[in-house]
Structure 1
Amino acid sequence: MRRTLMALALLVASPASADTPSPYAGMTDRPIRALSAEQQADLLAGRGMGLALAAELNGWPGPAHVIELAGAMQLTPAQLAATQHLMAEMQAAARALGARVIEEERALDTTFRNRSVTPADLSARTSRIAALQGEIRAVHLRTHLAQAAILNAEQIAAYSRLRGYAGGTPRHGGPMPGGHRHH
């Protein structure tokens, strides 16, 4: 036991090998070091990036997948048109916010790069970025609420089934999305 503790202490205390590169080593060439090109593209395109999983995985459909599954869900032409409009509105709002996140990240990166960052500036900048990220998430989540209101209970159940979630129905006894009650 004592030998094991000593070996563990030596392992923890020994410095990392100088030959082991940092997992961040390749990121120093990025124009905005905190964002990959893919992250920037997702932000500029208004993609969901998993931000609405709380809704999606709890029985609140999203418009992109509803459009994909429109036939199987038996959407009416009016429902499809409303869903397409909802999707366009969500993407426009998310794109605008995403562009602002990128600009704020670029400004933050610049303050570190040119060594002009101050604690107060850092706090203000990260707060703005966090607020924008929260707004993007809220846009995506609100869109799931609006989408559910366009559909009926059978379509919501079909969506869940087609997406492979819990046999097609939410696992709760409360109101279903769209105001319908699940029993």
Structure 2
Amino acid sequence: MRRASILAALVALLAATGAAAQAAPEPPAGHRHATGDDGAAHRRVDAIQKEFDAVVADGRGFGLAFAADQHGYPGPLHVLELKDRLRLTPMQEARMRALFETMLAEAKPRAARLADAEARLRRLFAGGGADEAAVRAAVAETEAARAELRLAHLRAHLQARDVLTETQRRTYHHLRWGEPKTP
């Protein structure tokens, strides 16, 4: 669950920085940057970002398919992790392994493109050459790469769902997310 807590921290950080960027010059109530910590908070964020980059570069999703996973479309890696509790048949296990390997083969080069695009965006700012047109182009490239990576993961979730029985899908959801919420 360490990945989930790191993802939650990264999402909270991104949400907070996005909200702060849109706020008035005065910080919102309760929003304060630590003083006197010699950049410790920024080092923690940098460490989380580096772990995110490493996990994604390895072909793993790091939350890219939460929308699917939370709503009945399990991912092949997590299904394999829970294979005994889901009582996968040998054929189901083989199919999940194949789906996982296919997803990794698609995801790794897409993750490399995303990492390259993110690095170009950072270099644009670091080199002092950022203007609106250059930033727009770099962001478009970065987000197109992120979309392709996310699609590789989401396709695996779509296909994995069809391998499981309805009972296995319910069990998976309960094991990963707890009881479903009723509207």
RMSD of aligned residue pairs (Cα, Å): 3.1
The answer to whether structure 1 residue 53 and structure 2 residue 66 are counterparts is yes
Does structure 2 retain, via aligned residues, the 8 Å contact 1:56–1:62? yes
2:75 is aligned to 62
2:89 is aligned to 76
Q: Distance in 1 between matches of 2:144 and 2:81?
A: 31
The letter of the residue matching 1:139 is A
1:124 is aligned to 137
1:109 to 118, 122, 146: 122
SS of the residue corresponding to residue 71 of structure 2 reads coil
Any residues of structure 2 matched to 1:16-31 within 5 Å, and which?
A: 20=36, 26=43
The letter of the residue matching 2:152 is V
SS of the residue corresponding to residue 166 of structure 1 reads coil
Deviation at 1:105, TM superposition (A): 1.5
Q: Distance in 2 between matches of 1:73 and 1:163?
A: 12
TM-score of the superposed pair, with normalisation by structure 1: 0.70
Deviation at 1:24, TM superposition (A): 6.6
SS of the residue corresponding to residue 88 of structure 1 reads helix
TM-score of the superposed pair, with normalisation by structure 2: 0.70
Length, aligned pairs only: 152
1:8 is aligned to none
Gaps of 5+ in 1: 1-10, 173-183
1:95 is aligned to 108
Deviation at 1:171, TM superposition (A): 5.7
The structure where helix makes up a greater share of residues is 2
SS of the residue corresponding to residue 91 of structure 1 reads helix
The letter of the residue matching 2:73 is W
% identity of equivalent residues: 31
Does structure 2 retain, via aligned residues, the 8 Å contact 1:94–1:139? yes
Q: Structure 1 runs of 4+ off > 6 angstroms?
A: none
Q: In the superposition, relative to structure 1, how do residues 171 and 60 fare at CA in structure 2: closer, same or farther (>3 Å)?
A: farther
The letter of the residue matching 1:160 is H
Does structure 2 retain, via aligned residues, the 8 Å contact 1:59–1:160? yes
The letter of the residue matching 2:117 is E
Gaps of 5+ in 2: 1-25
SS of the residue corresponding to residue 74 of structure 2 reads coil
Q: In the superposition, relative to structure 1, how do residues 109 and 164 fare at CA in structure 2: closer, same or farther (>3 Å)?
A: closer
Q: Show CA shifts across 1:49-70 (max 9, x none).
A: 1121111111221111111111
Does structure 2 retain, via aligned residues, the 8 Å contact 1:57–1:165? no
Deviates more, 1:50-59 or 1:35-44: 35-44
Does structure 1 retain, via aligned residues, the 8 Å contact 2:117–2:145? no
The letter of the residue matching 1:133 is R
Q: Distance in 1 between matches of 2:143 and 2:80?
A: 30
The answer to whether structure 1 residue 43 and structure 2 residue 56 are counterparts is yes
